[in-house]
Structure 1
């Protein structure tokens, strides 16, 4: 396995203007199958790692060291296939982000994705997200860019502003992150074809689109996304959803349960399989009280 070769290949594909399609991987067999089926790249999905590796929903419960350990194994299993790795918010302040980038780079990933949510983050297709300021994220981004050693390591800047502040602010942030040096920008969870088209039109930097089964963004075809000029299309849930369906069918057959009672149709229902309701109750129990009226 040659880490530099995988990184250079991913950068070359993006600079050539083609669309890189990256299915989500989350364990050894999904990574191995991605390599054997000759995908363009693989996307190490934080949600998939949380669910498959730890039985947890994607609400900021998995740590940097746990993700790095998983990234190292995924890179080995993928061989020369470039791995695009989710690193959530960078796991702390800019100082922590420096260590995160160093650890992910040492693990061999070809790209690292950071986002402007406040900690603890939530899956981009769940409600009730909170953001840090654009200025705060620019400090995170600067730390990440300064920390990388291999110039071929791509730094992807994701904004979740669409759900919180609207599409105008999401586009403004994405363009600001690109101007600050992000190699690729990622507006999370646009709603409708019109929003996908506007993002493509108003952001000139290389763009990533996230196509989540049952999520908020329309599942446009490879041909249409290529026509719009997107650089990367990640499909984080496809393999995981099919694997979970197979497990539900097999285990309900053994127990006599009705599989229809457990089938998820959207991300929040999938995370209920790994305790979303219970963790939400814990979060609510210890939530900082509002200071309004104090």
Structure 2
């Protein structure tokens, strides 16, 4: 059953629940959920943690992923997903929305909104998607200061440091940055935009051999980027403990909406695509309508129509 106000609220802080998931065998799989409904559908499919992508948030707002959104806008998305699902949520923190004090504010705001984990990246604003060209990379020590600030501010939030340096500084540069970020307080590392199996395996092997045998690593399986398609099991074999599919759900939803609007325009109605829609009964089951109604005795239980009326 989905989250219901006043019931099934986890007492353990979200960050601690996230950390416990990482202690289990196997790779933690986190699909991107850009709103509460996406989160509920992912939970219904059996996922135990979710990811909130900056790119997915911005595309839902109709703007590009260039670091334009604010802490409060992200917190709005966190709250709706955390409240709807009660699942641990890893959040894209972009560059931290400023310097050290801004990062500390972000950490406390995200925690208060219900986030379990955040990743910070070592790009400069205006930032780009990690799989695009000519990213501007921050000074490693400036990024390390942000990681340290996040660590100082957090009560339970799990902190993942992302480095985009492989494209411009090579594997040696990315590894040096990752080690500096771990020494500054990061709980895990996210090496972004590695583009083949050999790079993923090399990063995992070398960082553990160079003094961090227990480090947790996050892999990003985004479509239409620099990384070939790998399964969760393949990432696990390469030495990764977490994998995200950041924008996949939003891409599928956008394509479906585009096809719907074209069909309405061409056919004068939705009748050509009704068989591809979530039914009213399926929607109410997913959001737990009847459980909400049971909380308020003034509400009469909804009777769901069983079929669409026939044409007269």
Report the counterpart of residue 83 of structure 1 in structure 2.
Answer: 89
Equivalences for residues 2-17 of structure 1 within 5 A:
2=10, 4-17=12-25
Moved more, 93-102 or 61-70: 61-70
5+ unaligned residues in a row in structure 2: which ranges? 1-8, 209-214, 268-312
Q: SS state of the match for residue 18, structure 2? A: helix
Deviation digits for residues 119-175 of structure 1 (CA, Å, limit 9, x no counterpart): 12111112221011000001000100000122xx21010011112222221122112
Query: 1:256: how far off?
Result: 4.2
Report the counterpart of residue 177 of structure 1 in structure 2.
Answer: 181
Q: SS state of the match for residue 111, structure 2? A: helix
> Does the aligned pair in 1 maintain the 2:18–2:88 contact within 8 Å?
yes
Report the counterpart of residue 112 of structure 1 in structure 2.
Answer: 118
Is 1:30 matched up with 2:38?
A: yes
Distance in 1 separating the partners of 2:121 and 2:31:
19
* Aligned match for 2:248, one of 203, 226, 238: 238
Q: SS state of the match for residue 26, structure 1? A: coil
CA RMSD of aligned residues (A): 1.6
Distance in 2 separating the partners of 1:8 and 1:46:
23
Query: 1:210: how far off?
Result: 0.5
Report the counterpart of residue 75 of structure 2 in structure 1.
Answer: 68
5+ unaligned residues in a row in structure 1: which ranges? 258-294
TM-score (norm 1): 0.82
Query: 1:192: how far off?
Result: 1.0
Is 1:188 matched up with 2:192?
A: yes
Distance in 2 separating the partners of 1:218 and 1:206:
21
* Aligned match for 2:54, one of 22, 43, 46: 46
Equivalences for residues 116-131 of structure 1 within 5 A:
116-131=122-137
Distance in 2 separating the partners of 1:254 and 1:220:
37
Moved more, 1-10 or 223-232: 1-10
Equivalences for residues 198-277 of structure 1 within 5 A:
198-204=202-208, 205-256=215-266
Is 1:103 matched up with 2:109?
A: yes
Report the counterpart of residue 267 of structure 1 in structure 2.
Answer: none
Runs of 4 or more consecutive aligned structure 1 residues displaced over 3 Å after TM superposition = none
> Does the aligned pair in 1 maintain the 2:201–2:239 contact within 8 Å?
no
* Aligned match for 1:55, one of 51, 55, 62: 62
TM-score (norm 2): 0.78
Distance in 1 separating the partners of 2:256 and 2:75:
28
